[in-house]
């Protein structure tokens, strides 16, 4: 069942906007808007309007719109004057109240809310091929990347049982916490993010880099596959500026591109992030970026208070 909410910016003339399994089309008349929702039959949606992205008002007389067997629901609602507004369809299905970024994680992951935390359970196995699967595994793919110095390390990908507990409402920490060796966050495909160091004693990654596979990942000695660098399987599929995961403090992580430019660490603060609008948070949120230069993902401390990751 579809669990997205989505935000549509309507700057007349209309911009149509689609997400995975629901599509909201709007046609503006003088004082009304025709809504056309296309999606999974049985899905239930509330359409909301905002002029400032802060206050959202339900359209269609507060009624949820159920998508019939045909997969298309159409209705006309009165909106007063049709000035510049934002519209979003919010799932009215029970149990679909996860924040938008968590709805973008792979369906194979177990994700739920537990009090003030989002819990994510993952096997940490990448959803893309790698030379770090065993040769007999169908997901094995010999190295075909661009690094002439690539040398495979002796470790192989192993299925893990990893549980993340991440603050659902991230806020800046008064006292910042150092990142650690091991997982500091999770990508949308369930793979761990690691910081800019190699063990022990926070060595630079210099020698590790040559063992990164064609998707910038590699496994450590207990088979935990991880990314220190931009997860290029994800940004290759979704765009270099796309949402790629969250750090343990709950703040989102994006690829290096923003507004058509490739960011470097100079564009970011000491934690390797900044405040600003993102596609999932048009109202603005603190967020991290991967960059091609050091420290790649995080400056050594979390901006917020980290949750936990246990095996
Ligand atoms: Zn590593
Ligand atoms: Zn940014």
**pLDDT tens across 202-233, in order?**
888 888 999 999 999 999 999 999 999 999 99
> Is residue 6 over pLDDT 80?
no
Q: Which residue has the higher pLDDT, 34 or 150?
A: 150
Give the pLDDT confidence score for residue 16 in this predicted structure: 32
Rounded mean pLDDT, 262-286: 96
Q: Please tell me the predicted confidence (pLDDT) of residue 167.
A: 97
Take residue 220 and report the two structure tokens written for it. 């450590």
Residue 45: predicted pLDDT:
84
What is the pLDDT at residue 10?
A: 47
Spacing, Cα 27 to ligand 2 middle (Å): 32
pLDDT digits (tens, 9 = 90+) for 98-125: 888 998 999 899 999 898 999 999 999 9
Per-residue pLDDT reduced to its tens digit, 294-307: 999 999 999 999 99
pLDDT range class, residue 87, cuts 50, 70, 90: confident
Ligand closest to 212 (CA) is: 1
**Taking 80 as the threshold, does the pLDDT of residue 56 lie above it?**
no
Distance 21 CA to ligand 2 centre (A): 27
Confidence (pLDDT) at 23: 79
Task: Name the residue ranges covered by the structural domains of the chain.
Answer: 6-91, 98-311
Mean pLDDT within 11-40: 64
pLDDT at position 238 is 94
250-264: per-residue pLDDT in tens?
999 999 999 999 999
Distance (Å) from CA 219 to ligand 1 centroid: 7
Ligand nearest to the CA of 278: 2
| CATH code for the structural domain at 6-91 | 2.20.130.20
Mean pLDDT of the chain: 87
Q: How high is the pLDDT of residue 17?
A: 37
Per-position b or e across 217-250, b if 16+ CB within 10 A of its CB: bbbbeeebbbbbbbbbbbbeeeebbbbbbbbbbb
The closest alpha carbon to 102, from 121, 79, 86, 85, belongs to 121
Distance 71 CA to ligand 2 centre (A): 36
Least confident of 14-18, 151-155, 278-282: 14-18
Residue 241 Cα to ligand 2 midpoint, Å, equals 9
Q: CA–CA separation, 122 vs 10, rounded Å?
A: 37
Whether the Cβ atoms of residue 93 and residue 5 lie closer than 8 Å to each other: no
pLDDT score at 9: 47
Question: From the CA of 193, how far away is ligand 1's center (Å)?
Answer: 9
Q: What percent of the chain has pLDDT over 90?
A: 61
Residue 18 corresponds to which tokens in the numbers above?
A: 């689609």
What distance in angstroms lies between residue 152's CA and the mean position of ligand 2's atoms?
Answer: 33
pTM, two decimal places: 0.73
Q: How confident is the model at residue 136 (pLDDT cuts 50, 70, 90)?
A: very high
At 157, the pLDDT band (50, 70, 90 cuts) reads very high
- pLDDT at res. 83: 61
Question: In the prediction, which pLDDT does 182 show?
Answer: 94
Q: Rounded to the nearest whole angstrom, what is the distance from the C-alpha of residue 280 to the centroid of ligand 1?
A: 29
Burial of 282 (0-12, 13-18, 19+ CB in 10 A): middle
pLDDT tier, 78 (very low <50, low <70, confident <90, very high otherwise) = confident
What SS3 state is found at 88? strand
The pLDDT of residue 18: 35
Helical spans, DSSP H, in the chain: 100-103, 232-238
**How far is the C-alpha of 21 from the C-alpha of 39, rounded, in Å?**
5
Closest to 48 measured CA to CA, from 34, 58, 37? 58
Q: What is the CA(263)–ligand 2 centre distance, in A? A: 8
Query: pLDDT tens digits for 162-174?
Result: 999 999 999 999 9
Q: How far is CA 65 from CA 11, 22, 24, 85, in A?
A: 24, 12, 12, 20
Q: Which ligand has the nearest atom to the CA of 225? A: 1
Whether the predicted pLDDT of 84 surpasses 80: no
């Amino acid at each position: 069942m579809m669990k997205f909410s989505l935000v549509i910016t309507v700057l007349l003339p209309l911009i149509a906007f689609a997400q995975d399994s629901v599509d909201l089309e709007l046609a503006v008349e003088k004082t009304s808007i025709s809504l056309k929702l296309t999606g999974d039959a049985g899905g239930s949606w509330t359409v909301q309007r905002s002029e400032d992205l802060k206050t959202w008002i339900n359209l269609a007389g507060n009624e949820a719109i159920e998508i019939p067997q045909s997969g298309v629901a159409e209705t006309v609602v009165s909106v007063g004057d049709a000035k510049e507004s934002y519209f979003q369809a919010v799932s009215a299905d029970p149990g679909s109240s996860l924040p938008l970024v968590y709805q973008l994680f792979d369906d194979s992951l177990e994700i739920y809310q537990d009090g003030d935390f989002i819990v994510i359970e993952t096997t940490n196995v990448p959803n893309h091929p790698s030379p770090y699967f065993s040769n007999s595994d169908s997901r094995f793919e010999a190295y075909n990347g661009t690094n002439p110095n690539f040398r495979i390390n002796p470790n192989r990908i192993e299925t893990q049982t990893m549980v993340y507990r991440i603050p659902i409402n991230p806020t800046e920490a008064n006292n910042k916490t150092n990142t650690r060796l091991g997982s500091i966050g999770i990508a949308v495909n369930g793979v761990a993010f690691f910081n800019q160091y190699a063990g022990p004693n926070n060595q630079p990654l210099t020698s590790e880099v040559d063992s990164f596979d064609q998707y910038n990942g590699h496994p450590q000695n207990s088979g935990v596959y991880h990314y220190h660098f931009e997860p290029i399987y994800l940004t290759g599929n979704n765009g270099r500026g796309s949402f790629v995961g969250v750090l343990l403090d709950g703040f989102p992580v994006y690829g290096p591109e923003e507004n058509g430019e490739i960011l470097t660490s100079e564009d970011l603060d000491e934690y390797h992030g900044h405040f600003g609008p993102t596609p999932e948070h048009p109202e603005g949120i603190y967020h991290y970026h991967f960059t091609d230069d050091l420290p790649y993902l995080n400056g050594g401390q979390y901006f917020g208070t980290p949750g936990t990751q246990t095996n």
